[in-house]
């Protein structure tokens, strides 16, 4: 029997197929949520469902015989009730007609059973949703903070680069100002040297011109002395 056949089997008792499908879905959903949350679901006369933790272990691959490491995990476990076992083994006879095979719960036992389980599951689901929302909010805040920090770093880097460029420009301007008088002095020195080079040939010529006049005067004086001696 599959789920659809189960719904068909109880549809007449619940007033229709849709009502039966909703009832089956609600029961299974409540049981699954309770077991996943770690609760034990026990149905009198039928059995109990619970979550069991399996430690890590070694197993063998049935095809190759290779030893394989199996990780720690959790599995659902169903334990049939004594009434269910007796009916299956034949110790007790199965009721005929429309009688329920599983014993009905005592009066007052359903006031806080299933509803409490559903409430616990809903509360845990809400808690999980809140935790997820909190994590999302923290992640968003972290992302915003990271963006702000990156923007600040970029702005600081830009300011530092601008300041460095301004400093280099100022140093270059100062160096240029200091070098200007030196250039002027070098230019003046070059002009003085050029002037000196131009006046040097004129001085040499003047010296060369004056030198013969002195020689001539000396010769005249020597000639006069010689004439006087002869007389």
Whether 143 has a pLDDT exceeding 50, the answer reads yes
The Cα 21–Cα 4 span in angstroms is 8
Burial class (CB in 10 A: 0-12, 13-18, 19+), 220: exposed
pLDDT band at residue 142 under the 50/70/90 scheme: confident
Report, as an integer, the average pLDDT of 32-44: 94
Higher pLDDT, 50 or 120: 50
Q: Give the Cα separation of 58 and 33 in Å (integer).
A: 30
Output the pLDDT for position 211: 47
In the predicted model, is pLDDT for residue 115 greater than 60?
no
Residue whose tokens read 């050029």: 194
Residue 203 has pLDDT above 60, yes or no: no
| Rg (the chain; Cα; Å) | 59
Q: What is the pLDDT of residues 145-189, one digit of tens each?
A: 777 777 787 777 776 777 777 777 777 767 666 655 656 666 666
**Higher pLDDT among residues 105 and 171, named by residue:** 171
Share of the chain above pLDDT 90, in %: 32
3-13 confidence digits (pLDDT tens): 999 999 989 88
pLDDT at residue 230, rounded to an integer: 58
Residue 114 — very low, low, confident or very high, per pLDDT cuts 50/70/90? very low
Q: Where do the DSSP E strands lie in the chain?
A: 41-43, 47-54, 57-60, 67-70, 73-80
């Amino acid at each position: 029997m599959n789920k659809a056949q189960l719904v068909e089997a109880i549809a007449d008792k619940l007033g229709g197929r849709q009502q039966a499908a909703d009832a089956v879905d609600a029961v299974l959903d409540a049981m699954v949520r309770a077991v996943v949350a770690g609760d034990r679901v026990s149905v009198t006369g039928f059995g109990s469902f619970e979550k069991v933790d399996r430690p890590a272990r070694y197993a063998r691959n049935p095809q190759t015989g290779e030893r394989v490491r199996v990780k720690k995990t959790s599995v659902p476990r169903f334990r049939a009730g004594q009434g269910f076992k007796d009916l299956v083994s034949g110790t007790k006879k199965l009721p005929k007609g429309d009688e329920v095979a599983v014993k009905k719960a005592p009066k007052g036992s359903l006031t806080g059973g299933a509803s409490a389980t559903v409430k616990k599951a809903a509360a845990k689901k809400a808690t999980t949703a809140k935790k997820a929302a909190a994590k999302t909010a923290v992640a968003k805040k972290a992302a915003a903070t990271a963006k702000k920090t990156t923007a600040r770093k970029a702005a600081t880097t830009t300011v530092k680069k601008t300041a460095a460029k301004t400093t280099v420009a100022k140093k270059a301007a100062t160096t240029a100002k200091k070098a200007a008088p030196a250039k002027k002095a070098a230019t003046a020195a070059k002009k003085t040297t050029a002037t000196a080079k131009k006046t040097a040939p004129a001085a040499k010529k003047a010296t060369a011109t004056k030198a013969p006049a002195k020689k001539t005067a000396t010769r005249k004086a020597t000639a006069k002395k010689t004439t006087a001696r002869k007389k």
